[in-house]
Structure 1
Amino acid sequence: MPFVILTRAGFDDIVSRVGAGGAVFHLAPGVASDAEIARLRAAGARVHVLAAVADPAVLAEVERAASAAGHDGATVWVERQLGGYAQAAPATGPVPAGPARERANAAPPRRFARAAGVLARAALHRLRTPLAQRKLMLVPYFGFGNAGKMWVKGRVLDEGAFREQSAQDSRWRNLFALYQRLESDEVAGARVRAHFQGQSHDTVTDAGGYFSFEIVPPQALGGGWQTVELELPDSGADGGAHVRAGAEVIVPASTARFGIISDIDDTVLWTNVTNKLNMALMLARSNAHTRKPFKGVAAFYRALQQGAGGNEDNPVFYVSSSPWHLFGPLVEFLRVQAIPVGPLLLRELGMREVFHLTKHGNHKLGKIDLILSYYPDMQFVLIGDSGEQDPEIYAEVVKRHPTSVRAIYIRNVNPDPSRIEALDRLIEEVSATGTQLILAPDSVFAAAHAAAEGLIHVDRLGAVRLGKKEDESVRPGV
């Protein structure tokens, strides 16, 4: 991967991580000394000096530097200052030669340390600023409930709304949009108030800026989407309006015969979650308009939602190890791809933990337990993939809730023989409980089984086959 490095701090970091052998570096003028460049080349690196300095805080200059580096169509690492994080700026004046130049290049680490101090002071200033004087964003997530109670969750952030993305966005725009979401500034200790059916409920955000409510309304709820009004009562400077938002909550319709709980990563959407670097690159290169689901998934999920009766309106839930930061892009992806939208239960992660997804099983089990606790009399179809722990997690769900699981569909994405053997053992284990675990090569196979089991109408098989065929015409070989 070529590296476009714009500051001394970036140079020190990348060279220490990557090494020199076979690496390709494009350096802004003044970032490294002639002696350092000579040593890198002697060690096997290809080093190029850009024609002009680029400010890592200015998107247009970063894009200009990336373009000047060439490598069209390849993945390129580019240094970029984002989210208010200060870095040492590249030298803009003439740099002396010889030992004086070496000394000049020794100075940036001190500038970087001072920049970190500026960052710390900025963070302290935000903490000391009253909520009423801060630009806050109230982000509600989809909730769910039954006739007697609702679960509502959201987050409070210290920044404006994110820019909408489009199919025309470049990979750089996608990368910067992803970084913005991952680097959101949470607001801890903010008071949040929920209004529903004439009642008000208060809570306070936790250290990650998250809040949740379990609301018991005075009147029983009918099926369909309900809206819970949320506000930040301590916001609004100089008598201005409080920050408000509406949280959408789904209550299953009376016609629903079963529910669907699905994974997202490598089940609905190809992410290569077993390789965190490739997953990061995929997210950075694409957005909801350019990312595509697995073949036939949209038609299969619509068929499950409609059920054998064609109008059952079975609820769909998504449980994923993706961070809550990606809630908006994931919902947009579902809508753009005409996949049924439902509550998403994601992970509470800091940016540094996003691609180190530990305790994957504990998270999913806890969220599935939460869903099933709201619907003790409803059976569920569980859908996942063989890439990580979905089969093991779903087998544990069957043990905990033996009457709640109608069928399990696992997309086979891992051809390793040892993994196949482990899945065969799980299939036998789950079958002993009376529940079927089906290892499906694609959506058409799963849909055919679902039709035979009376989960979808047999007439929907044609739509799933057609959807798979159309997807293949767009993405052959995926």
Structure 2
Amino acid sequence: MAWWNHWTSFAKRLVHVIAKPVKRDRGRGGMVVHPYRGYGSHEDVFVMGRVFRQAALGRAIPRRGMLRDTADVARRIFRRGLADAKVEIRLGDNQLCIKTDRDGYFDAHLPITTSLPIDVSWHRADIHVEAQGQQSVRTDVEVYIPPPETDLVIISDIDDTVMFTGVAEKLKMLYRLFVKKPHRRTAFPGVAALYQALHRGETNKAERPILYVSRGPWAIYEMLEAFFQLNRIPVGPILFLREWGISLRHPWPRRAEAHKRDLIDRMLALFEDMPCILIGDSGQHDPEVYTEIVKAYPGRIKAIYIRRVDSDPKREKGIERLRNELADTNCELVLAADSVLMAEHAHANGDISARGLDAVRRDVEEHRREEAQENASL
């Protein structure tokens, strides 16, 4: 019966995480605001989020437990975005008012006209939302602004770059997250140490921004936050590529590579002349998109790290052609089977410390030992 207890525990914890976003209303229903972690510079800040209308809980539903979580999951499934809600955002003495779109989203670009403290990186933005027929809601969200001395920004894909994709791999990941103790192998070996090293830089004291993009929908935001925290991967604004809502006007989500390019253009414009490292995988269009970006922004991209996720000779030849296209630039495209090769290149370029490189090597070696022990026990 041990397996039954494990899977029961898995189901309960997973349902609780899925239900979490609707619990802010304490069962009362009505308007709920879900902001996503923001990012910016000392000139401009971006804050995104969504405003929902959701049903109230019945009086017969208990405050806690599996029945409450199941009811909240149902409320999450049937809640709808609230259009034309008035969203007021304040960051220090800076203020902006916008309205939500027809799906309830807001995407605020707030110019910073009154200076913010430069001795902290995480700032709090206050949000006040009003809508006709709804009780107003106040909340807040964290906004990351790198310090003025920041020398590098990292932009990383998530799927098949940080974490495994595929139904079978995601089930394993979820099982390890919610049943076993936090386990680094829910992410690729060495990823946590590599991203920590890139965040801290050669001095081990930097606070470089790491911005993440994904092909997934906003609906899995909370699950990815749990994944990042449990795997000790530096947190940052998690920017998803597409809203997956289907409508007659938009029967399919926008192509992931097109939206990814737009987001990266936006980030490079935000951080002006700051150098950048791009990280992706060989399974999708990351090498092609990143090569186009190097050509569009001469001198801005220091390196492209591509995780090899298959052994297709044709794909490797295609990536080799892209590497040759960049031969006359100051950017090298590195196709790597694991995080160690990326870390070695970053260290050679002066982008991470020797301590950071050693941490990546230890992490990968520890994974190999554990994998060998698991295989020997089968």
TM > 0.5 fold call: yes
Q: 1:424 aligns with which of 296, 299, 320?
A: 320
Deviations 1:176-206, CA, capped at 9 Å, x for gaps: 9988766652222222111233354221111
Determine the C-alpha separation between the residues in 1 that align with 2:69 and 2:168.
15
Aligned partners of 1:283, 1:205: CA distance in 2, in Å? 34
- The corresponding residue for 1:257 is 151
Give the whole-Å Cα distance in 1 for the aligned partners of 2:283 and 2:75. Answer: 28
Q: 1:206 aligns with which of 90, 93, 101?
A: 101
Match of 2:205 in 1: 311
Provide the secondary structure at the position in 2 that maps to 1:378: coil
2:365 paired residue number: 469
Amino acid in structure 2 at the alignment position of 1:267: T
How do residues 321-470 of structure 1 correspond to structure 2 at under 5 angstroms?
A: 321-351=215-245, 358-470=254-366
Task: Give CA deviations for 1:390-448 in whole Å, capped at 9, x if unaligned.
Answer: 11111111121122111010000021111111011011112222210000110111111
SS of match in other structure, 2:216 = strand
Mapped to 2, the partners of 1:327 and 1:418 lie a distance apart of 34
C-alpha change, 1:329 and 1:197, in structure 2 (3 Å) is same
* Aligned length in residues: 332
Greater RCO structure (CA 8 Å; 6+ sep)? 2
Two-structure CA RMSD over aligned residues (Å) = 3.4
TM-score after normalising by structure 2? 0.78
**Aligned match of 2:163:** 269
Q: What one-letter code is carried by the residue in structure 1 that aligns with 2:40?
A: G
2:306 touches 2:334 (CA, 8 Å); kept in 1?
yes
How far did residue 216 of structure 1 move? 1.7
| Cα distance change on mapping 1:467 and 1:280 into 2, 3 Å | closer
* Greater radius of gyration (CA): 1
- Percent identical: 34
Letter in 1 for 2:125: V
Alpha carbons 2:173, 2:186 under 8 Å: kept: no
Residue 233 (structure 1) aligned with residue 233 (structure 2) = no
Q: Is 1:154 the counterpart of 2:49 in the alignment?
A: yes
Q: Which secondary structure does the structure 1 equivalent of 2:106 belong to?
A: strand
Q: 1:204 to 1:380 in 2, by over 3 A?
A: same
Q: Pairwise mapping of residues 156-195 of structure 1 onto structure 2 (< 5 A)?
A: 156-159=51-54, 184-195=79-90
TM superposition shift of 1:218:
2.8
TM-score scaled by structure 1? 0.62
Residues in 1 aligned to 2:327 and 2:290: alpha-carbon distance in whole angstroms: 12
Name stretches of at least 5 consecutive residues in structure 2 with no aligned partner.
9-17, 19-27, 57-64
What 5-or-longer segments of structure 1 have no aligned partner?
Answer: 1-66, 74-82, 84-132, 162-168
1:254-301, Cα deviation, whole Å (9 max, x unpaired): 2321011000001101113xxxx6577668767575781100100011
Change beyond 3 A, Cα 1:315–1:199: closer
